[in-house]
Amino acid sequence: MSFDDGEELRRRDPRVEHILRNRLHPQHESLISAPAETRGPSGLVRKNPHQIGFIGPNGLKRIDRLAGNGPVLGRDVRAAKVKTEALRPLVSIAQAEQFVVAVMDMVGGRLTAHDKDVLGQAQQLAAEIPEVCAVVAVVFGAVKEDAFELAGVDRLIHLRGEDYQGYCPEQSIAALQVIDQKLSPRFWLFPDSVHGAGELGLRLAARLQERPATQAWQVSSEKTTFRGGSQRTDICVDTPRLLLLAEESAAPIEDTRHEVVPMSELTEDLAAQVLPCIKDGGQVAVDPKQISLAEAEFILAAGNGITDWEQFHSASEILRATEGASRVAVDDGLMPRNTQVGATGTWVSARVYIAVGISGAVQHLQGIASCDKVIAINTDAGCDMVKRADLSVIGDSQEILAELIQLCELRQEQEMKQGVEHVA
Amino acid sequence: MLPELKVVALVSIGQHIKSGRFQRADQDARAVELGLKLRGVDLTVLHAGSADEPVLRRYLGAGLKAITVLEQPAKADIVGPMCEYLNEQGAQIILAGTKAECGEASGMIPYLVGERLGWPVVSRVADILSVANGEAEILQALPRGQRRLLKVRLPFVASVDNAADAPRQSAFGPGQRGHIHRVQAAVVADELSASWTQVPAKKRPKRLAVVKAKSAADRFKAATAKSQGAGGVVLQAEAPREQAQAIVDLLLEEGLIQ
Ligand SMILES: Cc1cc2nc3c(=O)[nH]c(=O)nc-3n(C[C@H](O)[C@H](O)[C@H](O)COP(=O)(O)OP(=O)(O)OC[C@H]3O[C@@H](n4cnc5c(N)ncnc54)[C@H](O)[C@@H]3O)c2cc1C
C-alpha cells in the first residue's frame, strides 16, 4: 500500500462493496451510480423513476430534491474528504499585564531555529507568570518572515528605517532601553549567538547594570542553569531578568497560533536620538580562498572527474567560491590536503556545494551532510552524488565548466556596460 | 606601529577545553597580538587577579616587557578598579577577548568597561586596519568568514574574535625574564556569585525528533519514510549551455552571484 498521496487515505468499505455486488440488496439501486436522467437516443431527456431517490436509513424511499448536488450517500465519504490544513487554535491576549520580550536574530530577515527556540522559551516563561503575560518579539531591519504567528509571537515590535540598517548597536540599544522603560518586561530573552542579538543582550545588560545569564540552557521563572567557560561547569542561579539562551534550551511552539499584534504606539517614538560613534562601512569583499572550508558559504569541489585543473581554478575564481576536493584529488597531489571534504577531511556547512566529478562515496557525503543545496556535475547519472543533489547536470565537467565560465564572463561584461551607462 | 597611541590589552587566565589545564586564553592572546601590531612591545597588558599566576609568564613569553597586575582576590568584581586604573593611565584603545575561558564567561567585561567609561564598544574585531586622525578603521568578523568595515572615533573598547591573527608562540626564557608589575587596587566583593552553585557540566541531551502523528497511518508513514533523497532535478539531455544556465539560475536565486 502506498501512502504517497499524503493525508488523503483511500479506504475500502467491504459493506458497500458487498451491496454493489448484490443486485437484490435494497440499497443496491441507490449505490450504483447510473444517472436517474439520461439523454435517450432520440435526444430527449429520459427519467428512470426507479432510480430517483434512495432508501433512507429507516427503510423508506427518499427523493433527493437537491438533484444530486447534495452529499452523495453510499460513496465512501472518508475517501472524498478534502485535504485541509488543520488550523492551530488561536491564542489571543487582549490586555497584557506583564511582558516577556524576546529580541530576534533574524538572519536574512527570517527567524532562525534558535530564534524559534527562544520564542518557545518565552512562551514557557509567560505561562509560568501568574498574571496575563504576552510575548513581545523585537526585530530590526528588513523582514521577510511570514510565520511569526506560528512561532509564538503575541506582540511584534518592528524597528525599521535607516537608523536600523547594517551594524547599529548604539541605536538598537537606545530603542531597547525605551522598550524597557515603557513595558518593564518581566524577562528579556536573547539568543546567545554570533548573529547580533546576543551582543545586544550583553549591551543591554551593561546599560541597565543588570547581571545576565549567558548560555542558559535550563530556564524556569525560578531557577536557571547556564554553562560556564569552556563548557566545563554548569552554574545554577536564581533566574535573572536578562537571559541569553543557548541553542535548544526549549522546544519551539508547535500547537498554537498567536496574534502578532504590532505595537505601533511603541515603535513610533522610538526614532533614535543617538549620535552613533560607530560608523558602518559595509561588508567588505573577502577573498574566498581565505575563508576556512568549514565556514565557507559557497564551495566548488573537485574530484577524480576533473581533467583540466587550470580551468577548475579559474571557475572557482570567477564564481567567487571556496575550493574543496575529494580525497582522491588530494591523494593524487592535485589539491592541498586542507581542502579535503569528508569524513577524514573537513565537515562543511555550505549553503551551496557544487561537486564536479565526484562520485559521492559515503565518506564524502558525510562531510556535506549539512549543506543546503548540492549541485552535481558528473558524467554518470546513476552515481550517489546525483541522488543526493538538488540539481544534477550530466555531462563532461570540462565542457560544462567552460560554459559556466563563459556565462559568468558574459554577465560581468554586461554589468560593466551598465555601469558605464550609469556613469555617462 | 603607532608609538604615541596608548593601547591596553586585558588578559585573563584561560583553560584548555578538554584537559582543563590553565593556559593563555586564546582570544586574549589574540588581543595581545593585535596590540603588539598596533603598539609594539610597549603595549600595556593588564590582568586583574593574582600576580603569582604562572600563566602570566606565558603571555610575557610573546616578547612583552611587562605585565601589569591589579591585585584582586578570587571572588571580586574587577570592573570598577580596572576602569579606574584605565582612566588614570589615559588608555585610548582597550582590547579584550570576546569571552573568558573559565568561570562565568559571560563576555560582559568589554561592555561593562565601555559603559563605565562611556566609550563605544566594537565587538568581534578581526583586525584594526589603521588609526589616523583620532579615528580607527576596524574589520569586524561576521559569521561564515565574512568581514565588515567599521569606523570608530577614539577612544574605544574592542572585543577580539577568534578570526583575529593567531598569537605568536610563547617562549619560555623571555617569559621568565619579563617583569610583573604589581598594582594595589580597591576590592569590590562580588556577592551575587557567592550564592551560586557550580557543578561540573553534564552532557546536554540532544533534541530528539518527536513524531506528532494523529493517526496510525501517519505514525506508520513517519516510521517508514525514506530519509529525503527524493532526488533533485536531473538535466541529462540538455546542451551544456542550458545546463550551465540552470546552475547560474540557482546561484542567482541563492544570491551567491550578482
Ligand atoms: C577510511 C576512509 C576515509 C575516507 N575519507 C574520505 C573523505 O574524507 N573524503 C573523501 O572525499 N573521500 C574519502 N574517502 C575516499 C572515498 O571512499 C572515495 O574513494 C572518494 O571520495 C572518491 O573520490 P571521487 O569521487 O573524486 O573519485 P571517483 O570515485 O573516481 O569518482 C569520479 C567521478 O567523476 C565522474 N567523472 C569522470 N570523468 C568525468 C568528467 N569528464 N566529467 C564529469 N564527471 C566525470 C565519474 O563519473 C565519477 O562519478 C575515504 C575512504 C576511506 C577508506
pTM, rounded to two decimals: 0.76
The three cell numbers locating residue B236: 541529462
Cβ-defined contact of B103 to A229 (cutoff 8 Å):
yes
pLDDT at A93 over 50: yes
Ligand 1 atom index nearest CA of A385: 49
pLDDT at A45 over 80: yes
Q: What is the CATH number of domain A288-415?
A: 3.40.50.1220
What is the model's pLDDT at position B218? 81
Instruction: Determine which of A62-76, A212-226, A248-262, A279-293 has the lowest per-residue pLDDT on average.
Output: A62-76
Measured between alpha carbons, how far is residue A386 from residues A354, A379, A400, B243 in Å?
11, 10, 16, 14
pLDDT at A30 over 80: no
The boundaries of every CATH 3.40.50.620 domain in chain A are 90-267
DSSP for A319-359? HT-EEEE-HHHHHTTSS-GGGBBSTTSB----SEEEEES--
Query: A303 with A356: CB under 8 angstroms?
Result: yes
Q: How far is A48 from chain B (nearest CA, A)?
A: 42
Task: Supply the Cα-derived Rg of chain B in whole angstroms.
Answer: 25
Which listed CATH number (3.40.50.620, 1.10.260.40, 2.120.10.30, 3.90.470.20) goes with A90-267?
3.40.50.620
Instruction: Determine which of A272-276, B113-117, B254-258 has the lowest per-residue pLDDT on average.
Output: A272-276
Query: A198 with A190: CB under 8 angstroms?
Result: yes
Q: Is A46 helix (H, G, I), strand (E, B) or coil?
A: strand
* Angle at alpha carbon of residue A264, lines to A263 and A266, rounded to 5°: 75
In this prediction, residues A10-23 reach a mean pLDDT of 85
H or E element: which one contains A15? helix A14-21
The boundaries of every CATH 3.40.50.1220 domain in chain A are 288-415
Ligand 1 atom index nearest CA of A328: 23
pLDDT tens, residue by residue, B2-54:
667 899 999 999 999 888 899 999 999 999 999 999 988 889 999 999 989 99
H or E element: which one contains A174? helix A169-183
pLDDT at A325 over 90: yes
Q: How far is B225 from chain A (nearest CA, A)?
A: 10
Query: A356 with A301: CB under 8 angstroms?
Result: yes
In this prediction, residues A269-283 reach a mean pLDDT of 77
In this prediction, residues A92-103 reach a mean pLDDT of 90
Taken in order B184, B186, B188, B189, the sign of the CA dihedral is positive
Chain A residue with minimal CA distance to B194? Answer: A237
| Smallest CA separation from ligand 1 atom 27, residue | A304
| B221 vs A407: which has the higher pLDDT | A407
Domains of chain B (ranges plus CATH)?
7-194 (3.40.50.620), 202-258 (no CATH)
Most informative mutation of A299, A304, A346, A385 for ligand 1 (most atoms within 8 A of CB): A304
In this prediction, residues B94-110 reach a mean pLDDT of 91
Q: List CB contacts (< 8 A) between A172 and chain B.
A: none
How far is A87 from A269, CA to CA, in rounded Å? 36
How far is A412 from A418, CA to CA, in rounded Å? 10
**Mean predicted lDDT score pLDDT of chain A:** 85
pLDDT at A79 over 50: no
Cβ-defined contact of B148 to A280 (cutoff 8 Å):
yes
pLDDT tens, residue by residue, A376-386:
999 998 889 99
Q: List CB contacts (< 8 A) between B114 and chain A.
A: 206
Q: How many Cα atoms are found within 13 Å in the side-chain-facing hemisphere of A75?
A: 11
Q: How far is B17 from chain A (nearest CA, A)?
A: 5
Cβ-defined contact of B146 to A296 (cutoff 8 Å):
no
Residue B85 has phi, psi (to 5 degrees) of -65, -45
pLDDT at B227 over 60: no
Confidence band (pLDDT; 50, 70, 90) for A54? Answer: confident
The three cell numbers locating residue A7: 493525508
Distance of CA A67 to the CA centre of its chain: 47
Chain A residue with minimal CA distance to B251? Answer: A352
| A334 vs A20: which has the higher pLDDT | A334
Query: A66 with A54: CB under 8 angstroms?
Result: no
* Ligand 1 pocket member A384 (CB < 6 A): no
How far is B33 from B7, CA to CA, in rounded Å? 12
Sort strands A187-191 and A213-219 into parallel, antiparallel or unpaired: unpaired
Cβ-defined contact of B152 to A277 (cutoff 8 Å):
yes
